[in-house]
C-alpha cells in the first residue's frame, strides 16, 4: 500500500512514472547537455564546459527538445534503464537520485516550487558554459572541467 500523500517521486519508481512526472524530474541544470570526452585507452569519461548547440545558455534548457534527435542524432534519451548505466549523470541529477533511492534536494524545482531555484543554488551550468557553436571540437580538451561531476 502506498501513501498517496507523498510526492510521486517518493512513492514511485522511475519506471512507474507517467511521462509528465518523468519530464518534471529534470531540474534544468543543463549538466547532462555538456559534451563529454572518453579516453580511448581506459574508457574514462570527462566533462567539458562546452554545451550542446541546442542548449540555451541562459535557461539551461534545450531549444528544440521535441526535435533534438533530428538536430543531434547522438543525443541520449534518458530511460529508467539507461539512468543506471550512465555514470556521467551528475550526482545531483533527480533521475539518478530517485534510482538510488534518495530524495530530491531542497533546491529542486519540484520541491521549491520555482524553476529558478536550481540556478539560485548554483547547481546549474548557467554562467559557466560555452556553446559548441563557438568552440571547435578539436579544442574541447582545453575545456575539460570537474564541476559537473561534483555534488555542488
Ordered per-residue pLDDT tens for the chain, 152 residues: 556 789 999 999 999 999 999 999 999 999 999 999 999 999 899 999 999 999 999 999 999 999 999 999 999 989 999 999 999 999 999 999 999 999 999 999 999 999 999 999 999 999 999 999 999 999 999 999 999 988 76
d(CA 124, CA 117): 9
Q: In the chain, where are the structural domains located?
A: 8-149
Predicted confidence at residue 149, as pLDDT, reads: 87
Predicted confidence at residue 151, as pLDDT, reads: 73
Predicted confidence at residue 150, as pLDDT, reads: 84
d(CA 117, CA 135): 29
Predicted confidence at residue 2, as pLDDT, reads: 55
What is the sign, positive or negative, of the torsion defined by CA atoms of 104, 107, 111, 114? negative
Rounded-to-10 torsion of CA 117, 120, 122, 124: 50
Predicted confidence at residue 152, as pLDDT, reads: 60
pTM: 0.90
Cβ distance 140 to 109 under 8 Å? no
Helices in 1-134 by DSSP H: which ranges?
8-11, 19-24, 68-71, 80-85, 94-99, 109-112, 117-120
Place of cell 548547440: 53
Predicted confidence at residue 105, as pLDDT, reads: 97
Amino acid at each position: 500500500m502506498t501513501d498517496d500523500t507523498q510526492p510521486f517521486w517518493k512513492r514511485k519508481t522511475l519506471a512507474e512514472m507517467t511521462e509528465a512526472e518523468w519530464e518534471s524530474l529534470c531540474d534544468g541544470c543543463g549538466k547532462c547537455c555538456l559534451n563529454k570526452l572518453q579516453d580511448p585507452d581506459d574508457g574514462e569519461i570527462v566533462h567539458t564546459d562546452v554545451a550542446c548547440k541546442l542548449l540555451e545558455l541562459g535557461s539551461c534548457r534545450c531549444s528544440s527538445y521535441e526535435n533534438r534527435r533530428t538536430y543531434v542524432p547522438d543525443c541520449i534519451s534518458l530511460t529508467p534503464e539507461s539512468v543506471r548505466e550512465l555514470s556521467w549523470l551528475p550526482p545531483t541529477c533527480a533521475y539518478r537520485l530517485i534510482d538510488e533511492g534518495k530524495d530530491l534536494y531542497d533546491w529542486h524545482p519540484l520541491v521549491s516550487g520555482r524553476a529558478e531555484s536550481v540556478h539560485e543554488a548554483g547547481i546549474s551550468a548557467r554562467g559557466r558554459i560555452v556553446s559548441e557553436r563557438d568552440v571547435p571540437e578539436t579544442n574541447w580538451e582545453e575545456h575539460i572541467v570537474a564541476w559537473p561531476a561534483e555534488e555542488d
